[in-house]
Amino acid sequence: MFDNQSILITGGTGSFGQRFVQTVLEKYTPKRVIVYSRDELKQSEMKANPHLHNPALRFFLGDVRDRERLYLAMRDVDYVVHAAALKQVPAAEYNPHEFIKTNVNGATNIVEASLQAGVKKVVALSTDKAVNPVNLYGATKLCSDKVFIAANSYAGDSGTIYSVVRYGNVVGSRGSVIPLFVKQKEQGVLTITNPEMTRFLITLQQGVDFVLESFEAMVGGELFVPKIPTCSVADIAQVIAPDAKWDTIGMRPGEKMHEILIPEDEARNVLEFDNHFVVQPIQSFWGNKIGILGGRSCPESFRYASNVNCESLNEEQLSDLLSEYLV
């Protein structure tokens, strides 16, 4: 679907953005792939990456807070991936206004600009932190999700449609426990919040592939959730540093014992598919699109969490998933 089309990705210099760009350039022959971000250093580093040398690649300096800049960037763009966000949980508590400006107001700007530009499809990235949020970062992402879903009603019959993709921890992403454990392994002591804490794990490539699949399937208004495996923090520690001692420090502010991707409150609106779930919106624009998607309804009390209704990784599977960190 991206052959001879123009795609813009906000936050395109991040880990997801770079892998998404590389995957699109390998799988398709797009007219343009536009990296929209505010970090000139990361853009210059991407330009120098031999794996990304392609005449279709463009770089556009800008902030999602700047609506006028987005209007310029989205001219003649067919598809948009919104991956730009402020994400550090502690930083959000100290700088709430900054997170609101980027994560909430920025989402509104993306909707306005893509609608004016006549973009065909927009997919926004969400997070498990947006489900029953206990910190400001999660609250801003919940607001962002609502903005993008409601945008379908706002857009009317313009032809622009919006959907959201929500998933859990990306293996090895910045701030995750995996590179921390790898570093601490050298000292022989791992700092563990709670060994029984569970987490969803998805690789960067799986996240990119799921976004591409969602672009193909979306009719506008869905919130896509992939079926991904889980494990405990103790499992991760045991695989990465089996001989290390544990220093249990307790859960940090804003953390949850188990991650939730679909809460019970949304169960009545959830459709289950072979490899993912779709949370249907409650707005009237959705109509009777269930038949278009297919899928199976979930029971009233259903929830999808890292300790319920999920597949747990055994030691061998987890070792395979973390293989690059076990060298």
Catalytic residue among 129, 185, 227, 256: 129
Residue 125 half-sphere exposure toward CB, CA atoms < 13 A: 27
Instruction: Using the predicted structure, report yes or no on whether residue 68 has a pLDDT greater than 90.
Output: yes
Three-class DSSP category at 157: coil
Q: CATH code at 213? A: 3.40.50.720
Is 73 inside a domain boundary? yes
Residue 153: both structure tokens together: 């009603």
Output the pLDDT for position 263: 95
Question: Is the alpha carbon torsion for 161, 24, 214, 232 positive or negative?
Answer: negative
**Residues 270, 279: contact at Cβ < 8 Å?**
yes
- pTM of the predicted structure, to 2 decimals: 0.94
Is 1 inside a domain boundary? no
Name the band, by pLDDT with cuts 50, 70 and 90, for residue 189: very high
DSSP string for residues in 277-298? EEE---SGGGTTTHHHH--EEP
Output the pLDDT for position 287: 75
Output the pLDDT for position 261: 97
Average pLDDT over residues 86-101: 94
- Catalytic, 183? Answer no
Average pLDDT over residues 61-74: 98
Enumerate the β-bridge partners of residue 180.
none
177 CB-near residues (< 8 Å, 6+ apart): 199, 233, 236
- Among 89, 118, 106, 101, CA closest to 147: 106
Output the pLDDT for position 253: 77
284 or 243, higher pLDDT: 243
pLDDT 10s digits, 244-287: 999 999 988 778 899 999 999 999 999 999 999 999 998 878 87
**Residues 303, 260: contact at Cβ < 8 Å?**
yes
Distance of CA 147 to the CA centre of its chain: 16
**Residues 306, 225: contact at Cβ < 8 Å?**
no
pLDDT 10s digits, 281-321: 988 788 767 666 788 999 988 999 999 999 999 999 999 99
Name the band, by pLDDT with cuts 50, 70 and 90, for residue 175: low
Domain that holds residue 185: 6-325
Tally the domains of the chain.
1
Is 264 inside a domain boundary? yes
